[in-house]
Amino acid sequence: MRSITEKYPHIKFKTSWEMKPSIYYMLGECGSFIKAIKNTPVRPDYLKKLHSVALVKGAQATTAIEGNTLTVEDIEKIQAGDKLPPSKEYLQIEVENILEAFNKILKMVVVEQKTGLIGPELLKSFHKMVGKNLGEHFEAAPGKFRNNNVIVGNYRAPDSRDVETLVGQFCDWMRKEFNYENNQTFIDAVLQAVVAHLYIAWIHPFSDGNGRTARLLEFYLLLRAGVPDIASHVLSNFYNITRSEYYRQIEASTKKRDITGFILYAVQGFRDGLEEVLETIQENQLLITWKNYIYGIFESKMTVGKTRQANKRRRNLILNIPHDRYLSAAEIMDLKSWIMKEYSSLSERSFLRDLEELVELGLLEKNKTGYRAKMEELNKYMSVQLVK
**What percent of the chain is predicted at pLDDT more than 70?**
95
Q: For residue 363, is pLDDT > 70?
A: yes
Q: Are 332 and 355 in contact (CB under 8 A)?
A: yes
Radius of gyration for the chain, computed over Cα atoms and rounded to the nearest angstrom: 27
- CA-to-CA distance for 238 and 248, rounded, in angstroms? 14
**What pLDDT sits at residue 324?**
86
> Which residue, 67, 118, 74, is CA-closest to 96?
74
| pLDDT of residue 304 exceeding 60 | no
DSSP 3-state of 227:
coil
Q: Please state which of the ranges 113-117, 131-135, 223-227 shows the lowest mean pLDDT.
A: 113-117
Residue 312 has pLDDT above 70, yes or no: yes
Average pLDDT in the chain:
89
pLDDT of residue 228: 92
Q: Which of 47-51, 165-169, 254-258 is the least confident region?
A: 47-51
pLDDT surpasses 60 at 382: no
179, pLDDT greater than 90: no
C-alpha distances out from residue 372 to 115, 281, 329, Å? 49, 21, 10
**Residue 379's pLDDT is what?**
64
Check whether 80 has a pLDDT greater than 90. Answer: no
Largest distance between two CA atoms of the chain: 95
What's the whole-number mean pLDDT along residues 210-228?
Answer: 93
| 5, pLDDT greater than 80 | no
- H/E/C letters for each residue in 303-315? CCHHHHHHHHHHH
Mean per-residue pLDDT, 222-244: 91
What are the tens digits of pLDDT across the range 180-191? 878 889 999 999
The pTM of the whole model exceeds 0.85 = no
Q: Residue 47, exposed/middle/buried by CB under 10 A (0-12, 13-18, 19+)?
A: middle
Query: Are 71 and 60 within 8 A, CB to CB?
Result: yes
Q: Mean pLDDT, to the nearest integer, of 171-199?
A: 92
Residue 327, φ and ψ in degrees, nearest 5 = -125, 145
Q: For position 384, what pLDDT does the model report? A: 41
Given a cut of 90, whether residue 310 has pLDDT beyond it is no
Average pLDDT over residues 212-241: 92
pLDDT, mean of residues 2-22:
88
In 3-state terms the chain splits into helix, strand, coil percentages (rounded to 5) of 65, 5, 30
Domains (ranges, CATH) in the chain? Answer: 4-281 (1.10.3290.10), 300-387 (1.10.10.10)
Whole-number pLDDT of residue 383: 43
What is the pLDDT confidence band of residue 22, given thresholds at 50, 70 and 90?
very high
**CA contacts within 13 A on the Cβ side of 133:** 11
Find all residues with CB under 8 Å of 28, minimum gap 6, and list them.
Answer: none
Percent of the chain whose predicted confidence (pLDDT) is above 90: 61
- Top-confidence residue, 114 or 252: 252
β-sheet bridge partners, residue 372: 365
On the 0-12 / 13-18 / 19+ scale of CB atoms within 10 A, 185 is middle
Higher pLDDT residue, 300 or 81? 81
Could you tell me if 52 and 79 are in contact, meaning their C-beta atoms sit under 8 angstroms apart?
yes
Q: Where are the beta strands (DSSP E) in 309-373?
A: 364-366, 371-373
What b/e sequence results for 272-299 when a residue is b if at least 16 CB atoms lie within 10 Å of its CB, and e otherwise? Answer: ebbbebbebbeebeeeeebeebbeebbe
| C-alpha torsion angle, residues 14, 125, 181, 184 (rounded to 10) | 70
Which pLDDT value is given to residue 212? 94
